[in-house]
Copies of this chain bind each other. A is one copy, B any other.
Amino acid sequence: MPLDDLQRQDLLDSSAAEVRAAIRAGRWRGTTHDMARGYIQANLAILPEAHALDFMRFCHRNPKPCPLLDVTDTGNPEARQVAPGSDLRTDLARYCLYRDGRFVEELTDLRAHWRPDHVGFVMGCSLSFDTAMEAEGIPARSFRRGSRIPTFTSTIECVPAGPFRGPMVVSLKPIPPRWAEQVQAVTARYPGAHGGPVHVGDPAAIGVDPSRPDWTTACTIGDDEVPMFWGCGVTPQSVAMAAGIPEMITHCVGHMFITDLRLADLRRA
């Protein structure tokens, strides 16, 4: 096995804190898919405090694409509620830096970029989806379609907040009709992982052509399948970029922040 695979193997069943420490020490720069199994992975957005209140209002008004798990104190890089002892400047493998709505560069360490007015937003992500399905007894074959989830810019408008406004990015999964109702019910129980679907049925009704992906990969829907759409964590980034705010730092695709939360912590009563 190549070294990368050996390292990854080590981290699969490690705790969230152990994987964060490995990343912090520079021992892992790859994607986090499947790592620290059982722990909730999250999207990250870091914004200047001047835009933080509007961004937080945006998340509160659009909980399906932006399920807010934690917001740091201004200037403090610890995500204390979901990962005590964490450091958002060093605990993600790769960061994307945006200025004035444009991608500038990829970073592996934010210590030189972090400012006293920075606020970190930790948001649930759809990686928890598969885990939730398994935990609730829905067989993987009924929903899993490769590792890249097809995502699209829909015509569903987000509720605006200050400069943050625009269409919701959605993820698509074709579901066999016999599982459709249960998948809908199960996902609704996990609001911290985007909750229930935002649309079920005709993709065109929300402006989506499954063969033409806006963000990742295309998707084929079988005659015997129901297309289901969920709010996607790319939305807040997409909206913040469109707003052209002076600076924003996010995780890079697939290189998530691993929290200490377990699936059960996200499950509704």
- Which A residues lie at the B interface, using CB under 8 A? 49, 52-53, 56-57, 60-61, 68, 71, 73-74, 81, 119, 159, 161-162, 185, 188-189, 191, 195-196, 268-269
Contact = CB atoms under 8 A, between A and B. Distances in A.
A196 B162 CA distance: 33
Given A56-B56, A60-B71, A71-B60, A81 B159 contact: yes
Which 9 A-B pairs have CB atoms at the shortest separation, nearest pair first? A188-B269, A268-B268, A53-B53, A57-B71, A56-B56, A52-B53, A189-B269, A61-B81, A60-B71
Contact of A57 (B73, B159, B189, B196): B73
User: Main secondary structure on chain A at its contact with chain B?
Assistant: mixed
* Copies per complex of this chain: 2
Given A269-B196, A269-B268, A161 B60 contact: no
A228 B185 CA distance: 30
A112 to B, nearest CB: 25
Nearest to A161: B73
Nearest to A81: B61
A162 B56 contact: no
Given A53-B74, A56-B60, A268-B268, 19 more contacts: A49-B53, A52-B53, A53-B53, A53-B56, A53-B119, A56-B56, A56-B57, A57-B73, A60-B71, A61-B81, A73-B161, A81-B159, A185-B269, A189-B268, A189-B269, A191-B268, A195-B269, A196-B269, A268-B269
